[in-house]
């Protein structure tokens, strides 16, 4: 047990990934699983090279990735730009909380994809509708976590600042806002992950470009390697986006855990 705990974490992670690839290579190259169900690593690599060189449906692969990122990041940015300030205000101000809490309690359990018919009805099949759908997703999680951060500031901090003569505005700027940052970044991570996931659902409706469109279209014509490549790209880009948010958290919330 002590020997296992002394193994560096990255070696364990690397070993797990290598093991998955080894099993994948074995089952696809020994005929245990047919290529129509699970392509081999070699087949995926060749398909990936072909996508890089020729694109998909006369559109370069990087353009599919770029349009998906644009949609996801646009909706995410708008969602957190509205959700974080509103969450901080409702978490700090009881009257604002009383006004917003029943509305948010109603909206929060609704899956984002349930809004697709309404988004199509009101905004059509263009870019605006897709961004709005992602905005709803990001706003929901940014708001709830910012609200929690502002509402759970230790009362001792508030009383100490009042004793020092700080106004409500000063308490909000100097006490509540900094104390809410850990919760805010928790919301940003969830909002980013779900915004990137929802973009796939958004691109299933009327899109002609994007990773979601590529996966859906390839599945309809049984281009299974392209489907797997699209899924792998979504996972890889999602991981990279999460790492960027985590790096920002380390810089801004440098006192967390100390």
pLDDT per position as a tens digit, 190-240: 999 999 988 888 887 777 888 988 998 898 888 889 999 999 999 999 999
pLDDT for 120 beyond 90: no
- Rounded to 5 degrees, what angle do the CA atoms 196, 147, 176 make? 120
The burial of 69, by beta-carbon neighbours within 10 Å (0-12 exposed, 13-18 middle, 19 or more buried), is given as: middle
Q: What is the pLDDT of residues 235-244, one digit of tens each?
A: 999 999 999 9
Q: What is the pLDDT of residues 33-78, one digit of tens each?
A: 777 788 888 888 999 999 999 999 888 999 999 999 999 999 999 9
Mean pLDDT, residues 92-113: 86
Please give the domain boundaries of the chain with CATH numbers for all domains.
57-252 (1.10.3720.10)
CA distance linking residue 131 with residue 114, whole number of Å: 15
Which of 75, 57, 41, 12 has its CA nearest to residue 232? 41
In DSSP terms, 56 is beta-bridged to 59
CA distance linking residue 127 with residue 107, whole number of Å: 23
pLDDT for 1 beyond 50: no
Q: Which of 94-108, 155-169, 176-190 has the lowest mean pLDDT?
A: 155-169
Which of 204, 206, 199 has its CA nearest to residue 218? 204
Whether the Cβ atoms of residue 246 and residue 189 lie closer than 8 Å to each other? yes
Identify the band that residue 257 occupies on the pLDDT scale cut at 50, 70 and 90.
Answer: low
């Amino acid at each position: 047990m002590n020997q296992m705990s002394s193994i560096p974490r990255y070696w364990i992670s690397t070993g797990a990934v290598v093991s998955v690839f080894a099993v994948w290579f074995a089952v696809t190259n020994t005929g245990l699983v047919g290529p129509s169900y699970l392509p081999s690593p070699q087949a995926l690599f060749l398909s990936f090279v072909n996508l890089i060189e020729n694109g998909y449906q006369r559109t370069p692969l990087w353009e599919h990735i770029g349009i998906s990122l644009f949609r996801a990041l646009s909706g995410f940015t708008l969602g957190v730009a509205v959700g974080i300030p509103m969450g901080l205000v409702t978490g700090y101000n009881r009257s604002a909380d009383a006004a917003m809490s029943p509305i948010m309690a109603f909206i929060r359990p609704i899956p984002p994809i349930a809004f697709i018919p309404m988004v199509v009805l009101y905004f059509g099949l263009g870019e605006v509708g897709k961004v709005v759908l992602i905005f709803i997703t990001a706003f929901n999680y940014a708001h709830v976590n910012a609200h929690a951060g502002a509402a759970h500031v230790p009362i001792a901090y508030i009383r100490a600042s009042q004793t020092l003569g700080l106004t409500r505005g000063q308490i909000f700027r100097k006490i509540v806002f900094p104390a809410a940052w850990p919760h805010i970044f928790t919301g940003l991570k969830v909002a980013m992950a779900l915004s990137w996931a929802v973009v796939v659902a958004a691109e299933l409706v009327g899109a002609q470009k994007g990773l979601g469109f590529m996966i859906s279209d390839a599945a309809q014509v049984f281009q299974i390697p392209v489907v797997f490549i699209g899924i792998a790209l979504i996972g890889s880009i999602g991981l990279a986006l999460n790492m960027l948010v985590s790096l920002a958290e380390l810089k801004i919330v440098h006192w967390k855990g100390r």
